[in-house]
Amino acid sequence: MNYIDLFAGTSALSEGFIRNGMNPVAHVEMDAEACLTIKTRVAYHHLKNENKLSVYYDYISGKISREELYSYLPKQKYDSVINTEISDDTLQNIFSVIHSNLKNQENKKIDLIIGGPPCQAYSLIGRHGIDWEKDNRVSLYKQYGKFLKEFKPKIFVFENVPGLTSANGGLYYQDLKKYFAKLGYITDDKTLNAKDYGVLQNRKRVIIVGWKKNLKFSYPDVEPITHNFTTKNIFSDLASLT
């Protein structure tokens, strides 16, 4: 399955989809430093598939430069990282790059779109002082929707903070659901906590899953992971701080 990762950050959300055999055609992110992290991760997965992980280890041990690491990437994988802000002014250019990348794929369609717009305006902490009329971050789900219109994926996954459901009295949340319905998608959502799925962090997120109305589908039931690990396990092999 081909997918697009929007508002990608460091592509951490993307990692799970890659690990399950899906193919990222594009990661769209406005922060240049984050895009370097994404490219490095793209290089890691490419080199792993090519049985050339020694090149990646040479990079992280300082034996080769970042530029040399990236030189091992095929052009379409290098170009899959799109460093630009998602806005009305940039949409057509982003679409063109993604369509160009699709030409080199065996599967010429986008099956899935994932991503979560910046959450500061929705978070209980970040929303203080927000001017709901002027802060364009509160309506970035509409930019997400424009990708759904252009590429018509079967399914999408939209991630954000729990405050999304209550921001501005829940107005944006209700509008978001109506907007996705108009685009032809059934949506369902759950508030999930990363600590229930093997992450050693108490981190709640609203995960909205949308699917085409003609698709026989329902919200996945993901079994929690039971373990006894703590953060001490992460730091156990590090030298003590002085």
Q: Which residues are catalytic?
A: 119
User: Which tokens sit at 216?
Assistant: 């026989």
The β-bridge relationship of strands 81-83 and 23-29 is: parallel
User: Could you give the CA distance from residue 13 to residue 35 in angstroms, rounded to a whole number?
Assistant: 14
Residue 112 β-bridge partners: 3, 155
Q: State whether residue 78 is helix, strand or coil.
A: helix
Long-range CB pairs of 198-202, under 8 A, 24+ apart, other chains included: 198/225, 198/227, 200/229, 200/230, 200/231, 200/233, 200/234
